[in-house]
């Protein structure tokens, strides 16, 4: 496996690979790899010839007072995990390698960037869109793998690729969960044992919303939201930011629960801000 | 020569060309080709194997009340001119082909987008940056040719390519002028005979600034600016927006005239908003 911190080297290597007919799979990460990442890397390895895992804790997507400095970093551990899961290249550039000069360019997905997570983390999705555009420009034509765990990010990236005609096929990968339902996340490392146990509330809240839609056939958005919220508020160690019902493609709140919706939840447990989401499919009347 | 309106066809054609080792040159235009464009196309044809001229009157870079609807369009004439100058592909997509859905993404070069032309045309350079990012993403690895006539645009594009690691080498091409000094521009078509004659004032104003720097060794920025302004204001048919002295790389106004500056001028003659610029090199003391 190749480990490189050089954007130019990455580009040259992948151009050469494509020239001899090999397909490229890219999984952009901020490191701190866990089972969710490994599942994605294994899928990329099954579907493409050359799998690149990028590891870059992107300063552009952290707001003031967020956990940029505290974000866990362990390149040697990440490298080993990526290799074991089937990566061919780990691209782990420094901030100086990515931005030799103070970056001036911002890529923004309007509207989508300001709702839900965007409302709670101003500028976050501008940072995501900017770095993903750069990584996709560096990688060139590829399949780009993103986890559904960061659902809004996935929708932002799909819009980005369409609107800018970036040469990537975006592949969304299902969330991987602990046996008790907690979605795998690098930020789970911030949780104490009690908080870890409380954090399952996100999944239980989503399940309550899913049951409302799928089993009770609730079509009223506020009622589904309430079903999620009541569960979320029962957990004292969880501080709910939002529980929402949205159209899976546009992330706007529909007037009625349609055939397919996405349930999203976010909040804080101890120092960790956690998010999760689930699809819900309503039987049409 | 190939004429296509399909982004997918363009991408596939250029990928195939590169696969067999041919280099690609791209000259993005809004059509209404003139001698300035033809000079650029001939240069691209001398330096690269496959020359693409894109023709797209980009709605994103026109403000409300600007000349988007009036902007001259004549595809058959443009096609013939591009072919005669050595283009291999004319890519002339419809707005619907470029943006099948209402575009959500904006690419912004901060600071640079708000000064000079940006101050007079809010949103203009966001529109330029967005469409250039998309065209470069579609074209893939290439040499991208831009005229120095739109000097601020050229600087914006250089920052764009650097910050987003777009796979392009940006080539700036000298301005082509009429014998009396007027820079070739599609918007010259808006000028009456009297206005056409008055429009040479932009070049004469720039020459006055250049003489101040190069012959009189003026180091005071305000004095160079005044040398340009006094000439510009002498022409009654010209309504000056700005005459400025800037650093050629950053476009910021330097405290003193350095070894190399760029002189920029913009204003209105009749219905036409015209811009021009010139390099000036100061002998160091």
Name the DSSP class of A26: E
Q: Tell me: the pLDDT tens digits for B198-226?
A: 999 999 999 999 999 999 999 999 999 99
- The partner residue sitting opposite A104, judged by closest CB among B15, B112, B140, is B112
Q: Which of B11, B138, B163 sits opposite A103 (nearest CB)?
A: B163
Closest by Cβ to A163, choosing from B105, B111, B112: B105
What is d(CA B126, CA A208) in angstroms, rounded to the nearest whole number? 44
Six-digit token string for B30: 């809004």
Q: Do B110 and A130 touch (CB under 8 A)?
A: no
Give residue A197's pLDDT.
97
Kindly report the CATH number that applies to the domain delimited by A186-276. 3.30.1300.10
Rounded Cα distance between A226 and B257, Å, is 65
For the cut 70, the answer to whether the pLDDT of residue A285 exceeds it is no
Residue A222 is encoded by which pair of tokens?
């506020």
Tell me the nearest-neighbour CA distance from B102 into chain A, angstroms. Answer: 9
- Kindly list the strands in the beta sheet with B24-29, ordered across the sheet, starting from the edge strand earlier in the chain: B2-4, B89-91, B50-55, B24-29, B142-147, B168-173
Question: What is residue B285's predicted lDDT score, i.e. its pLDDT?
Answer: 59
Residues of B belonging to the active site? 37
Q: What is the pLDDT of residues A58-108, one digit of tens each?
A: 999 999 999 999 998 999 999 999 999 999 999 999 999 999 999 999 999
Q: Which of B58, B52, B92, B96 is nearest to B76 (CA)?
A: B92
Q: CATH 3.30.1300.10 in chain B: give the residue spans.
A: 186-277
DSSP result, A268-281: EETTEEEEEEEEEE
Q: Nearest CB to B104: which of A99, A103, A112?
A: A112
CA distance B58 to B30: 7
For B56-92, what is each residue's pLDDT tens digit? 999 999 999 999 999 989 999 999 999 999 999 999 9
pLDDT digits (tens, 9 = 90+) for B170-199: 999 999 999 999 999 999 999 999 999 999
Angle subtended by helix axes B151-163 and B124-139, to nearest 10: 50
- How far CA B219 is from CA of B210, B277, B282, in Å, comes to 12, 19, 8
Whether B175 and B148 have beta carbons less than 8 Å apart is answered as yes
CA distance A51 to A86: 7
Q: Burial of A21 by CB count in 10 Å (0-12 exposed, 13-18 middle, 19+ buried)?
A: exposed
In whole angstroms, how large is the CA radius of gyration of chain A?
19
Q: Which residues pair with A276 in a beta bridge?
A: A265
Q: Residue A105: what pLDDT?
A: 98
Alpha helices (H) in chain A, listed in sequence order: 7-19, 35-47, 75-85, 95-98, 117-120, 124-139, 151-163, 193-198, 201-214, 221-234
CA dist A179 and A181 (Å) reads 5
Q: Does the distance separating the beta carbons of A164 and B130 come in below 8 Å?
A: yes
State whether A108 and B109 contact (CB < 8 Å).
no
Domain(s) of CATH 3.40.50.620: residues in chain A? 2-173
Q: Do A105 and B109 touch (CB under 8 A)?
A: yes
Q: Please give the ipTM for the structure prediction.
A: 0.94
Residue with tokens 């709605």: B59
Query: How much is the average pLDDT of A180-192?
Result: 96
Residue whose structure tokens are 């010139």:
B278
Partners of residue A142 in chain B, C-beta under 8 Å: none
Q: Is B137 close to A141, i.e. CB distance below 8 A?
A: no
User: Nearest 5°: phi and psi at B37?
Assistant: -60, -45
The verdict on a CB contact (< 8 Å) between B111 and A99 is: no
What pLDDT score was predicted for residue B283? 83
B228-270 residue pLDDT tens? 999 999 999 999 999 999 999 999 999 999 999 999 999 999 9
A17 phi/psi in degrees, rounded to 5: -60, -45
Active site residue A124: no
Q: Which residues of chain A have a Cβ shorter than 8 Å from any chain B Cβ?
A: 7, 11, 15, 19, 99, 101, 103-112, 129-130, 133-134, 137-138, 140-141, 159-160, 162-167
Query: Counting one residue from A and one from B, how many pairs have CB atoms under 8 Å apart?
Result: 88
What residue ranges of chain A are covered by domains with CATH 3.30.1300.10? 186-276
HSE value, Cβ hemisphere, 13 Å, CA-based, for B184: 18
Nearest CA in chain B to A18: B19
DSSP states of B59-88 = GGGPPTTSSTTTS---HHHHHHHHHHHT-S
| Model confidence pLDDT, tens digit, residues A200-221 | 999 999 999 999 999 999 999 9
Which CATH number is correct for B2-173, 3.30.70.1350, 3.40.50.620, 1.10.260.40, 3.20.20.60? Answer: 3.40.50.620
Confidence of residue A283 (pLDDT cuts 50, 70, 90): confident
Cβ atoms of residues A105 and B160 within 8 Å: yes
> For all residues of chain A together, what is the average pLDDT?
97
DSSP notation for A70-86: TS---HHHHHHHHHHHT
The CA distance from B184 to B149, in Å, is: 8
On average, the pLDDT of chain B sits at 97
Alpha-carbon distances, residue B35 vs A90, A107, B32, B101, B206 (angstroms): 48, 34, 10, 35, 21
Question: Which CATH number applies to B186-277?
Answer: 3.30.1300.10
A133 and B159 within 8 Å at the Cβ level: the answer is: no
Residue of A nearest to B106 (CA): A108
Question: What mean pLDDT comes out for the span B25-47?
Answer: 98
- How near does any CA of chain A get to the CA of B207, in Å? 32
List CB contacts (< 8 A) between A106 and chain B: 107-108, 110
Q: Which positions in chain A touch B111 (Cβ < 8 Å)?
A: 104
As a whole number, mean pLDDT of residues A264-271 equals: 97
What 3-state DSSP class applies to B270?
A: coil
> What Rg value do the Cα atoms of chain B yield, rounded?
19
Average pLDDT over residues B120-124: 95
Q: At A118, phi and psi to the nearest 5?
A: -65, -35
- Using CA atoms, how far apart are residues B76 and B95, in angstroms rounded to an integer? 18
């Amino acid at each position: 496996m190749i480990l490189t911190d050089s954007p130019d080297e990455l580009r040259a290597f992948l151009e050469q690979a494509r020239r001899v007919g090999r397909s490229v799979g890219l999984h952009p990460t901020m490191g701190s790899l866990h089972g969710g990442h490994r599942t994605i890397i294994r899928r990329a390895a099954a579907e493409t010839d050359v799998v690149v895992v990028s590891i870059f804790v992107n300063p552009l997507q952290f707001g003031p007072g967020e956990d940029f400095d505290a974000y866990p970093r362990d390149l040697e551990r990440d490298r080993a995990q990526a290799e074991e899961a089937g990566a061919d290249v780990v691209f782990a550039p420094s901030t100086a390698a990515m931005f030799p000069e103070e970056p001036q360019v911002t890529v923004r997905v309007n509207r989508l960037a300001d709702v839900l997570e965007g409302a709670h983390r101003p500028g976050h999705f501008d940072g995501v869109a900017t770095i993903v555009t750069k990584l996709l420009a560096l990688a060139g034509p590829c399949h780009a793998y993103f986890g559904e765990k960061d659902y809004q990010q996935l929708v932002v990236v799909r819009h980005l690729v369409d609107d800018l005609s970036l040469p990537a096929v975006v592949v969304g990968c299902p969330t991987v969960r602990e046996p008790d339902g907690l979605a795998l996340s690098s930020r789970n490392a911030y949780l104490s044992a009690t908080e870890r146990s409380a954090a399952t509330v996100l999944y239980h809240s989503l399940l309550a919303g899913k049951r409302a839609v799928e089993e009770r056939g609730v079509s009223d958005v506020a009622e589904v939201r309430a079903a999620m919220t009541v569960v979320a508020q029962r957990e004292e160690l969880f501080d709910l930011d939002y529980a929402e019902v949205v159209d899976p493609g546009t992330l706007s709140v529909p007037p009625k629960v349609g055939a397919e919706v996405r349930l999203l939840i976010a909040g804080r447990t101890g120092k960790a801000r956690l998010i999760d989401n689930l699809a819900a499919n309503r039987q049409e009347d």
